[in-house]
A and B are shown apart, each in its own frame.
Chain A
Amino acid sequence: MQKLFRFYPQLGFTLLVCAFLIIPIILSMLAGITDNFFIGWSSGFTARWIVQVWDTYQVTIWRSIAIALACLVVTTVAGVPLAYMLARHNGGNSRLARAIEELLMMPVAVPGLATALALIMAYGQYREFRGSLLFILVGHVLFTLPFMVRPVLAVMQSAQLPVLEEAAASLGAGPLQRFFGIVIPNVFSGILAGALMVVTLSIGEFNITWMLHTPLTMTLPVGLADSYASMRLEVGSAYTLIFFLMIIPLLIAMQWVTHTTRSRVRL
């Protein structure tokens, strides 16, 4: 009896919230393949909106993927050694390391609009740089770097790395050998979690990119905003559908990785 009064209302509420989050997604996916959304599904289904999006915006999709991958490379190459430094500096308990971590979080805490304006005001006069994809890449790296550093740092702090490293050192392994032979394999789950996050965030980044982009460096979310503003609802929906198809596998992979790492090393 008690269960009846407490369980089901709560379940109902949860389902309601879930519906609030999911129904618009389904609606927009359906709208992307509906012939005329104003009339409804009775107008039939079609792939022509998707084809139209593919023709108009294909280049933004490839560009976004390229930036996301470049961003992943930069954040991995810069972020993993940085996390290692932060974890090791002063035996992993230093003010400096904490201050740097805090500073790294700033571009995430501060609205993207402010970061983008700052970049434009500081580097906008270098025409070549301003007009290139590198400019957007810089913005994305600033925004995603903490998402690589933090999971890696967390694994480094929880794993028994110092002990393993000491053992390796006593057997005569040099610093580089230790880094690539011991550290990297042990923090791999953290790198993987960070990498998925970085790619997902970079593909979806809008706040910074919108200010930084030029007509020649339009990315997927910028294209989305563009199509929402100027195209039919069906086109915007079809474009969103493509975006979902790109991002959903990443999200599923992310949930899977956090699930497996959590059961392996207690984060």
Chain B
Amino acid sequence: MTLFVAFWLLPMLRLVAVGASGPTGVAAYFAVVTNHHYLMSLISTLLLSAAVTLATLLISALVGLFLQRNRFAGKALLLAMLTFPLAFPGVVVGFMVIMLAGRQGLIGVVSNWLFGDAWVFAYSLGGLFLGYLYFSIPRVILTIMAAAEKLDPALEEAARSLGANPLQVFANVVLPALAPALISSGAICFATSVGAFGTAFTLATNIDVLPMAIYNEFTSYANFAMAAALSIVLGAMTWLVLALARSWSGNAAGAAA
């Protein structure tokens, strides 16, 4: 515990102090909203993360429910493969996106063959979207499967016997039961996407998301105060999202980038 205080808590407090020590003082903390450049990175970071979160929840809910409810040959293998990328660092995920949508990537080759036009979007926000999707899906699938395991099939049968169609059953029985898992894993997904650095770093140094802005501030311009202020804002944001989700869902949540 002493180690933790010495190496995390105190450095964090120091970071807060450094953030306020720049030429603009405490105002550095508001630069995220007052400075046009940072505001734009903030907005694109948030929009991208929100889009990733929605897409991930949708895909993982479908796959997770399906895997939980059906037994078939090769299911264990499929599940193992789906959860494999869980431990990949962001840089490797970035590289996977390059393999998929980069200059010599699979999507480019296939689209060139089909439409005579190579689609290359790895080095833009599209690639980043794909990358975040790549590492979010495995995490969310596991949470959803754990939640679906506890779902009582009798409830659904009851709803069906009362005349509800599949869509109604899904909206009124399955969805509310899964809601806590969806909220908590969605929050993790959002927080990881907001803070993920490795993937953006691999794909291109000029993708305009907040972690890249911090990195450039620190290494290219040696603007330590700004970098510190921005990372405090970023950290506070992710922590807030996770804390809110936890109070809504009553579940323990944690993120890993």
Contact = CB atoms under 8 A, between A and B. Distances in A.
A113 B231 contact: yes
B201 interface: yes
A78 B9 CA distance: 17
A14 B255 contact: no
Contact of A24 (B90, B96, B201): B96
Contact of A119 (B11, B80, B97): B11
Interface in B6-22: 7-12, 14-15, 18
A23 B84 CA distance: 12
Contacts of A7: 70
Contacts of B18: 121
Given A22-B81, A23-B100, A25-B96, A121 B90 contact: no
A176 interface: no
A186 B205 CA distance: 49
A17 B82 contact: yes
A20 B66 contact: no
A21 B235 contact: no
Interface string B52-86: 00000001001100110010100000101111111
A236 B257 CA distance: 21
A251 to B, nearest CB: 6
Contacts of A104: 4
B224 A251 contact: no
B62 A13 contact: yes
B194 interface: yes
A174 B32 CA distance: 57
B106 to A, nearest CB: 6
A169 interface: no
Classify chain A: how many residues form its interface, as a range: 35 or more
A210 interface: yes
Nearest to B10: A122
A123 interface: yes
A113 B106 contact: no
Contacts of B257: 111-112, 207
A107 B8 contact: yes
Contacts of B119: none
Contacts of B88: 204, 247
B91 to A, nearest CB: 5
Interface in B106-148: 106, 134, 137-138
Contacts of A14: 62-63, 66-67, 78, 82
A102 to B, nearest CB: 9
Interface stretch (A49-57, A155-163, A221-229): A221-229
B211 A113 contact: yes
B38 interface: no
Given A111-B238, A224-B95, A118 B138 contact: no
B206 interface: no
B134 A20 contact: yes
Interface in A143-162: 145-147, 150
Interface string A1-38: 00000010011011101101111110110010000011
Contact of A210 (B85, B196, B197): B197
B82 A21 contact: yes
B198 A225 contact: yes
A14 to B, nearest CB: 5
A109 B191 contact: yes
Given A22-B84, A207-B198, A113 B66 contact: no
Given A14-B82, A113-B197, 17 more contacts: A14-B67, A21-B84, A24-B100, A25-B85, A28-B96, A37-B104, A106-B8, A109-B239, A114-B195, A114-B231, A114-B235, A119-B7, A207-B196, A233-B104, A240-B95, A252-B80, A255-B80
Interface of A: 7, 10-11, 13-15, 17-18, 20-25, 27-28, 31, 37-38, 78, 82, 100, 103-115, 117-119, 121-123, 138, 141-142, 145-147, 150, 200-201, 204-207, 210-211, 221, 224-225, 228-229, 233, 236-237, 240, 243, 247-248, 250-252, 255
27 contacts: A10-B62, A11-B70, A13-B63, A13-B66, A18-B81, A21-B85, A21-B138, A27-B106, A28-B96, A78-B3, A109-B238, A110-B235, A111-B194, A114-B195, A114-B234, A115-B8, A117-B218, A121-B18, A121-B224, A142-B7, A206-B197, A207-B89, A211-B215, A221-B198, A224-B92, A228-B91, A236-B95
Q: Which 8 A-B pairs have the closest CB atoms?
A: A111-B195, A122-B11, A118-B11, A114-B231, A24-B96, A110-B235, A204-B89, A118-B15
